[in-house]
Structure 1
Amino acid sequence: MSRQALRVTVRRWHLWLGITLGGLFALVGLTGSALVFYPELERAFSEPLHAVPAGTRPRSWQAVLDTLHREHPERTGAWRIEVTAEGGAIPIRYYDPPETRGPGRFAPLLLWIDPVQLTTIRAGFWGRTVVTWLYDLHYRLLLDAPGGTALGILGIAMLGLIGSGLWAWWPRPGSWRRALRFKRDAAAVRRLYDLHKVVGLASVGLLLLVTATGVMLDLPDQTRAVIGRVSPLYRASAVVTVPRGAMLSLDALARIAQARMPDGALAWIETPAGPRGTVRVNLSRPGEPSRRFPRTNVWLDPYDGRIVAYRDGLAETGGDTVLDWLHPLHGGEAAGMAGRVLIFLSGLAPTMLFVTGWLRWRRRGRQRRSMHLV
């Protein structure tokens, strides 16, 4: 096949991939842009959360746990208490509540506690708040685990859409200047092409990054299987404790964990799932890609404070390092606020590409029909 014939074929692939997948790509991009600021949106949509001043902290984390036990005595499983950098209302999760339990479902109970009054100021199940509904739409198309798998497979096709567009545009030697021009005085079909081209070229790097990391996040088992062939991956060993007396306070256990990793800031505290379980403390250390979901973990015996296992997020294998960076790169957190803004803007690009590509296709179709009628 000649170079010109190959270019024509790739352009056709790009056209039909864009027509069939462009709308879905736009939907995923727009929802992804919104979710870049997921915690901020959660507060903005809730007056009780917005009313709690930033910087407010509870007098103790044990007092927070006591509130949970008092208000929800029937929930005897593990609680995950988030320790946010900015303070304010305390986000808490209770995984696998009986109300939403089901195969392939992710629908924890979400609570927010006032750190001063130590009362629940907001409660709801995952997928039943505006922001978590958007998250499910973006991540699993509201179809639980099968939706995530389907979106991961479609994401591979989206990578083909991006790559075919870049291939179809790639100029011949000596024609780069003409290929990069935006012809303001050209016909509408040409201006649409130029706008499509400019948006695509400006966003192609980020779109490839976000789409590729999205595919890997949507297909976690397949991703781990592939990476595990090249590099060993961390596997937490099952640790059980022997009940003996009262448990130590969460504050004492958090201090022990921080003494093990003195440069780590508290990110999450997870309580035992039962009387033989452990307390897990997640610590965010300088150099980890995610402040919110760090990989430095310390597991403690809640009865005597003994450290039974730990994971150093800065001493990962190559494979685990790849996995650790997926979510922070996908959402832009790895590059701070500037990275989040760039990812937000990149999420708008698929809509612009779909609209300009579809309009150009329609206009060219009308032109061809008009020529046949003459």
Structure 2
Amino acid sequence: MSRTGSGREIFLATHRIIGLFAGAIFVLIGLSGALLAFREDIDEWLNAPLMRVESPTRPAMRPLDEIFAAATAAIPADGRPERITLPRHSRAAAIVSYMVESDDLDSYFHQLFVDPYTAKVIGSRLYSHGDDVFSQPFVQIVMAFHWTLLLGANNAYLVGAVGILLFFSVLFGLYLWRPRNGRWRQGLTIKWGASFERVAYDAHRCVGAYFAILLLATLATGVAMIFKPATHSLATLISPVRPEPDFGKSTPIPGRAPIGIDAAVASAEQIFPTGRLHWILLPSGEDGVYVVGEQSADEPNRTKTFRNVGVDRYSGRVLQTQDRGEFTAGETLLEWLFPLHCGEAFGALGRTMVLLTGLAPLLLYVTGVLRWRHKRRARRRTI
């Protein structure tokens, strides 16, 4: 279809309809995503007494077994420890997560915060409780809103469907933005001395043009994560994608007590001698295993790690490993979805770009609505 005539009108009408009705949702999702780009920092700022500690002149962490022992003493009898997450930086607390299951099989997930330099518990909080979103910390509420609009995890596909519509709307907007007279600079600047209507029109075009690639990337990765089974199937078309690793089972040894956490980490470090210790998933049950995660410097995902080692809790023997260095192309694609979506793959710069991208839908919606109203008034005057 040519740029003039029915083809362009169809694209314009589709872009306008999606923008007017789905655009408001896009604004809310974008603003929440902007906050989540720096979610760890915001969480620590809001909960500083719990999550921050005084860093000594010469920081030296206490043994992990000592940190865990302090946390275990504070965990209720019906609590089941699940993992230890190491401090993000020198002033952050270590986090021991545990679960409490009620009589009606409802699960409550808690976090204990431990000073890594003194091995003293400094506080705790309820982190997650099923669909009771508002019992969770602020950042968790924002996250639930971002990908479900607080409609529940089972309805996240509705946000995914809106994301697909918006993805095509951005593409249509790019098509409509391309200057027909070949004057590209005109499509990338705002005539500030012109009328208010023209400034709003130029602002809409410029914001859309400058942020189009980032908007398309965040929309595509967000939709891919919501429709994970379909994304997994598409990734297998690129290369084989293995199932989630099974780290095996521990074998009890008569007369021998389970090894400690530090010993499990020492076993894992024989496999991955370099990197940052990110977390230790704790054994569940008598045959459970330690899963030690060592984060490499070039790993795009800073929230979790894909270099994990399963360690027998009795013998300290390595049972299974997961090494992102051996990922297929399809597995690498799946690994990059989340860090691309939130910007953490590129550090502070990437997070800042995602923050700005999250603000772009608000500017696009306001200027788009203004442009739509201007055109409506112009049509009425000609009738």
Does the CA-based 8 Å contact 1:114-1:121 persist in structure 2? no
Tell me the CA shift for residue 234 of structure 1: 2.6
Provide Cα deviations, 1:190-241, integer angstroms capped at 9, x if missing partner: 2111001111111111111111111111121221122123321132136222
3-state secondary structure, aligned to 1:319: helix
Does the CA-based 8 Å contact 1:33-1:343 persist in structure 2? yes
Does the CA-based 8 Å contact 1:266-1:283 persist in structure 2? yes
Indicate whether 1:343 and 2:345 are aligned: no
Provide Cα deviations, 1:95-116, integer angstroms capped at 9, x if missing partner: 58449966xx9x7333322332
Cα distance in 2 for partners of 1:95, 1:230 equals 38
The one-letter code matched in structure 1 to 2:63 is: S
Match of 2:139 in 1: 131
Cα distance in 2 for partners of 1:99, 1:217 equals 33
Distance 1:101 1:159, change over 3 A: farther
The one-letter code matched in structure 1 to 2:40 is: P
The one-letter code matched in structure 2 to 1:124 is: L
Indicate whether 1:142 and 2:150 are aligned: yes
Indicate whether 1:207 and 2:215 are aligned: yes
Which deviates the most, 281-290 or 350-359?
281-290
Provide Cα deviations, 1:11-40, integer angstroms capped at 9, x if missing partner: 110001000111111111111111111111
Structure 1, unpaired ranges of 5+:
none
Match of 2:193 in 1: 185
Cα distance in 2 for partners of 1:65, 1:305 equals 18
1:281 to 276, 292, 305: 292
Does the CA-based 8 Å contact 1:23-1:354 persist in structure 2? yes
3-state secondary structure, aligned to 1:260: coil
Does the CA-based 8 Å contact 1:332-1:339 persist in structure 2? yes
Tell me the CA shift for residue 296 of structure 1: 0.5
RMSD: 2.3
Which deviates the most, 294-303 or 92-101?
92-101
The residue correspondences of 1:61-210 to structure 2 (distance < 5 A) are 61-75=64-78, 77-87=80-90, 88-94=92-98, 97-98=101-102, 108-115=109-116, 116-126=118-128, 127=133, 128-172=136-180, 174-210=182-218
Does the CA-based 8 Å contact 1:82-1:91 persist in structure 2? yes
Q: Percent identity?
A: 32
Cα distance in 2 for partners of 1:67, 1:98 equals 24
Match of 1:272 in 2: 283
- What TM-score results when the alignment is normalised by the length of structure 2? 0.89
Does the CA-based 8 Å contact 1:258-1:264 persist in structure 2? no
Which deviates the most, 272-281 or 166-175?
166-175
Indicate whether 1:311 and 2:326 are aligned: no
Tell me the CA shift for residue 246 of structure 1: 1.6
3-state secondary structure, aligned to 2:270: helix
Cα distance in 2 for partners of 1:16, 1:48 equals 47
Match of 1:33 in 2: 34
3-state secondary structure, aligned to 1:241: coil
The one-letter code matched in structure 2 to 1:213 is: T
The one-letter code matched in structure 1 to 2:199 is: R
Cα distance in 2 for partners of 1:197, 1:97 equals 53
The one-letter code matched in structure 2 to 1:121 is: G
Distance 1:100 1:326, change over 3 A: farther
Distance 1:272 1:18, change over 3 A: same
Cα distance in 2 for partners of 1:317, 1:283 equals 20
Provide Cα deviations, 1:287-331, integer angstroms capped at 9, x if missing partner: 221233120010000101000000111221111100111111111
Tell me the CA shift for residue 59 of structure 1: 0.9
Does the CA-based 8 Å contact 2:344-2:350 persist in structure 1? yes
Provide Cα deviations, 1:332-374, integer angstroms capped at 9, x if missing partner: 11111111111111111011101111122123223333443xx
Distance 1:43 1:180, change over 3 A: closer
Match of 2:25 in 1: 24
Does the CA-based 8 Å contact 1:258-1:265 persist in structure 2? no
The one-letter code matched in structure 2 to 1:125 is: Y
- What TM-score results when the alignment is normalised by the length of structure 1? 0.91
Cα distance in 2 for partners of 1:217, 1:260 equals 30
